[in-house]
Chains A and B, each alone.
Chain A
Amino acid sequence: MTPALRLVDLTVSYDRHPAVHHVSAEIAAGEMTAIVGPNGAGKSSLLKAMLGLAPRIEGKIECAVKRIAYLPQQAEVDRSFPISVLDTVLLGRWSRFGAFGKAAKTDVHDASHAIESVGLGGFERRPIDTLSVGQFQRVLFARLLLQDADLVLLDEPFAAIDAKTVVDLMEVIRRWQAEKRTVVAVLHDIDQVRRDFPNALLLARELVDSGPTSRVLSPENLLRARAMAEAWDEHAGACIPLKQSA
């Protein structure tokens, strides 16, 4: 089976500092893959690159899927903005009506259905600034449901989320997998990854290992990832071509 994504010697950099350095890996289609690594290991940058939003990449990303949906970290969303739950979720159909089109009756119906299926039935008209962090994450998941994507990228979906919400949202993720969608999630809870995600990609700017979770998240690999993150030299010269980067 062809992979959903193939990363070939991928380097993502901001201001000449690489956040992801010479990574080659494959994301299996129709499966759940967790991206794991210490802080600053380039996990979010890798997701942005998969979306085509990284400012500067070298190497290649071969993409075999058409529609990609993305869950941002909550800090990227202005949660005090005066907008209702229903309108937020409806944005998931952007690819259908774009910047100028009209939302069809079916879109509104599907949005209500999605809101219900993440356990927020009756919240349609509520402004988002009245929601808790966990409830708002449910709203963003409902928006993802409406996007009907082949590949779903989740950036720290469970950071600061209560246990009950994690259980409910994991259920949504499993449903995606049952529908043969590919799910890639940046996660911090190693135990959860071992329990719920069959594949993992361990990152410390460079790739430590990728493949079945039981192998990738071995104690030796985790130690290596930590050592690599600590040993990284911010001021190292460029690797190719032979030129000072400063």
Chain B
Amino acid sequence: MLYTYLLEPFADFAFMRRALIACLALSVAGSTIGVFLILRRMSLMGDALAHALLPGAALGFLLGGLSLPAMSLGGFVAGMATALVSGAIARFTTMREDASFAAAYLTSLALGVLIVSLRGSTIDLMNILFGAILAVDDQALILIVGTATVTLVGLAAIYRPLVVECFNPGFLAAMGVRGGLYHALFLGLAVLNMVAAFQALGTLMALGLMLLPAVASSFWAREVWSMTLIAVPLAFLSGAIGLLLSFHAGLPSGPVIVLVASLFFLVSLLLGSRASVRSRLSRPVHLRG
């Protein structure tokens, strides 16, 4: 029974196995990036950044068709350009960074949809916007797993300065460390992960597996490393459960995966051990008895 429902789909179908490995790699690297996006109060900016990949990916699509290298490269360049230009606009004008990110994201979403529709069909557009994790091939899998490796090594290298940059940037500056450099490196890794996730979940939901488990973990853990340790398995569980649900019920996999992650978030919000609804409602310990 259990075997039929939980393991058979992966045993019988190679596309399910590939999708599961893609989920694992995306979870390990993506949700770690997600934890830092939240701590830097950049969740919405991250979302805007993910949408900003679209015109680049679309341009790659226009030139190379549904070719993964062309679309990924285009997406990466567009994402980095948006991050740097928005940062520069915020620095040199009085416009706030969130506003400039919002402007960049709306522009790029419209531009991207327009470019895809120049050549592709509605199905191509749907694939780019919402991804196709069941269509992940070996090439895409190598990109996703390679990105995860680079991300983990990169984050391990910049972990301490990045944490201090989030928490007390002035201290880092007083130690003679250029925090802006680490911020830029982090943004680069974040965009890289969005490019990897875009193949599986599309530009509109690429951030789902990165952010939702990370937000959920903040209701359980009290330090950066423990948040990460909770976020990664949550993300992978969301991926695995989402894949199985979509397989058995014949639903599109991307949205189901993100919805399962949302469910974990809701449960954590209600029942988490810190700052959750439960901990707000429960009576303080010294009043009991």
Contact = CB atoms under 8 A, between A and B. Distances in A.
A84 B175 CA distance: 20
B163 A76 contact: no
Contacts of A82: 39, 218, 221-224, 227
Contact of B170 (A76, A87, A95, A99): A76
Contacts of B218: 82
B81 interface: no
Interface string A58-94: 0000000000101010001110011110010001001
Contact of B168 (A72, A84, A100): A72
Given A72-B170, A76-B170, A83 B177 contact: no
Contact of B166 (A81, A91, A100): A81
Contacts of B160: 99-100
B5 interface: no
B119 to A, nearest CB: 46
Interface residues of A, number: 19
A91 B174 contact: no
A78 B224 CA distance: 14
A118 B167 CA distance: 22
Contact of A77 (B167, B174, B175, B222): B167
Contact of A76 (B157, B168, B222): B168
A190 B12 CA distance: 79
Contacts of B167: 77-78, 81, 83
B88 interface: no
A227 interface: no
B223 A127 contact: yes
Given A82-B221, A83-B223, A99-B160, A77 B168 contact: yes
A91 B223 contact: no
Interface in B155-175: 157-158, 160-161, 163-164, 166-171, 173-175
Contact size range, B: 20 to 34
Contacts of B161: 99
Contacts of B171: 70, 72, 91, 94
A127 B220 CA distance: 13
Interface string A87-131: 100010011000110000000000000000000000000010000
A53 interface: yes
Contacts of B170: 53, 70, 72, 76-77
Nearest to A72: B170
A178 interface: no
A14 to B, nearest CB: 14
A91 B166 CA distance: 14
Interface in B139-187: 157-158, 160-161, 163-164, 166-171, 173-175, 177
A225 B164 CA distance: 38
A51 interface: yes
A72 B175 CA distance: 13
Nearest to B169: A76
A191 B160 CA distance: 41
B169 to A, nearest CB: 8
B177 A99 contact: yes
A53 B174 contact: yes
A67 to B, nearest CB: 11
Interface of A: 51, 53, 68, 70, 72, 76-78, 81-84, 87, 91, 94-95, 99-100, 127
Interface of B: 39, 157-158, 160-161, 163-164, 166-171, 173-175, 177, 218, 221-224, 227
17 contacts: A51-B174, A53-B170, A53-B174, A68-B174, A72-B170, A76-B168, A78-B166, A78-B168, A81-B39, A81-B166, A82-B221, A82-B224, A83-B223, A91-B164, A91-B168, A94-B171, A99-B177
Ranked nearest first, the 3 interchain pairs of A and B with the lowest CB-CB distance are A81-B167, A127-B222, A99-B161
